[in-house]
């Protein structure tokens, strides 16, 4: 009986600490770049758009150039990186709960490959236009991801009545097919090969407030679904029959979860390219801190994923100026050793059992 207040206190401290760290990281990342802005000025510029704040007084002594750099260039990029990182981490929690596998990843659904194929088509055939701040590459990437999602569900439904295993196998098959198609496009358009490859590695260099708004809307809808289904996802860990006996609609829960995850991953990949390992690293770290309950694990993984991605993006644009390292390369360098650790940990667990 005495342990529950401690757990609640620990959870509150963890959530509050992550939220405070996220705010600090956002302000810090917005201040760092080719033109350095003092941390205090960056904080004042970020806070100036909050409601019930005296904007004129808060921005006294801040140059116009610093305002433009922070608000128009860096802050959209920082916030977009946070939304993408948080969304991918939350999606990773859901996929691991659905498959009851700590190594499950949203990218196995094939959505990332669909987005990459859409972007590759736009780049290879020189389709360049912008509508209300939305580029053709972004449009093609999102449409490619959504069409792939529809194809995966259609194939899974025909083959296995849309079972979880059927969706997984259909995703792997579609991903392999689209990867081959991307390779052919790159070989036929060698002059565009580098551009396609760099897009696939992931970057937030084309961030804008339009993309931030788009990602925020999709993320909000997906997070609401995840949190509502959190208890059902917990019960699924005991097995389908046990979960169903406790009142869980197994098929509905899985269908809604996979759809929400697919839509979230499609939006994330379309605005940033393919960024790996975030959905593996962060859920495991958060699970070690707060336990396996999904209603607490999902929002805390979102905060952790946002912090991690913002830091990786900051490293990608400041480590080797004036060039920019693909953020996907940074996450892979960080995530690969952790992935090997997970494999080793799972092997040890099997040997003990």
Q: What single string gives the DSSP state of each residue in 49-66?
A: TSTT--HHHHTTT--HHH
Q: Terminus-to-terminus CA distance in the chain, angstroms?
A: 31
Residue 4 has pLDDT above 60, yes or no: no
Most trustworthy range by pLDDT among 22-31, 185-194, 258-267, 276-285? 22-31
Task: Read off the DSSP letter of residue 131.
Answer: E
Write out pLDDT tens, residues 260-297.
998 999 999 999 988 988 998 899 889 888 888 898 99
Q: What is the CB neighbour count within 10 angstroms for residue 207?
A: 23
CA nearest to 112, candidates 86, 142, 135: 142
226 and 135 Cβ atoms separated by less than 8 Å: no
d(CA 162, CA 307): 35
Q: What number is the average pLDDT over the span 13-27?
A: 93
211 and 150 Cβ atoms separated by less than 8 Å: no
d(CA 51, CA 45): 13
d(CA 144, CA 130): 17
Looking at every residue in the chain, the average pLDDT score rounds to 87
CA nearest to 79, candidates 20, 32, 30, 144: 30
| pTM for this model (two decimals) | 0.90
Write out pLDDT tens, residues 120-147.
999 998 888 887 777 888 889 999 999 9
The beta strands (E) that lie in the chain are given as: 130-131, 134-135
> H-type helices in 164-245, by residue range?
164-188, 193-201, 209-228, 230-236, 240-245
Q: What number is the average pLDDT over the span 18-45?
A: 92
pLDDT at 322: 80
Residue 219 has pLDDT above 90, yes or no: yes
Fold of 3-109+203-352: ABC transporter involved in vitamin B12 uptake, BtuC (1.10.3470)
Is residue 301 helix, strand or coil? helix
Chain centroid to CA 202? 11
Q: Domain residue spans in the chain? A: 3-109+203-352
Residue 23 has pLDDT above 90, yes or no: yes
The token pair that represents 38 in the structure block: 């003092």
């Amino acid at each position: 009986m005495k342990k529950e207040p401690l757990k609640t206190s620990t959870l509150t401290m963890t959530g509050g600490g992550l939220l405070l760290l996220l705010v600090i990281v956002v302000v810090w990342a917005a201040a760092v770049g080719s033109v350095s802005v003092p941390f205090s000025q960056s904080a004042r510029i970020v806070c100036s758009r909050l409601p019930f704040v005296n904007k004129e007084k808060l921005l006294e002594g801040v140059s116009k150039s610093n305002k433009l750099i922070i608000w128009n260039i860096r802050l959209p990029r920082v916030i977009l990186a946070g939304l993408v990182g948080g969304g991918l981490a939350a999606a990773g929690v859901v996929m691991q709960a659905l498959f009851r596998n700590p190594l499950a990843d949203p990218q196995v659904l094939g959505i990332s490959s669909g987005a990459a194929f859409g972007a590759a088509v736009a780049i290879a055939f020189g389709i360049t236009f912008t509508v209300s701040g939305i580029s053709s590459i972004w449009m093609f990437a999102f449409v490619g991801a959504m069409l792939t999602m529809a194809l995966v569900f259609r194939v899974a439904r025909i083959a296995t009545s849309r079972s979880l295993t059927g969706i997984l196998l259909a995703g792997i098959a579609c991903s392999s097919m689209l990867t081959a198609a991307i390779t052919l496009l790159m070989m036929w358009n060698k002059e565009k090969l580098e551009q396609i490859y760099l897009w696939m590695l992931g970057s937030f260099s084309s961030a804008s407030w339009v993309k931030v708004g788009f990602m925020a809307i999709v993320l909000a809808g997906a997070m609401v679904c995840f949190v509502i289904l959190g208890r059902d996802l917990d019960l699924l860990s005991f097995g389908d029959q046990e979960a169903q006996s406790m009142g869980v609609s197994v098929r509905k829960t899985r269908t809604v979860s996979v759809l929400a995850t697919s839509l979230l991953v499609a939006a994330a990949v379309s605005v940033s390219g393919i960024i790996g390992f975030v959905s593996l690293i962060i859920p495991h770290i958060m699970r070690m801190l707060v336990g396996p309950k999904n209603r607490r694990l999902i929002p805390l993984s979102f905060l952790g994923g946002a912090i991690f991605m913002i830091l990786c993006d900051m490293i990608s644009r400041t480590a080797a100026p004036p060039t920019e390292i693909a953020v996907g390369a940074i996450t892979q360098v960080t995530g690969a050793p952790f992935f090997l650790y997970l494999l080793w940990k799972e092997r040890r667990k099997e040997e003990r059992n």
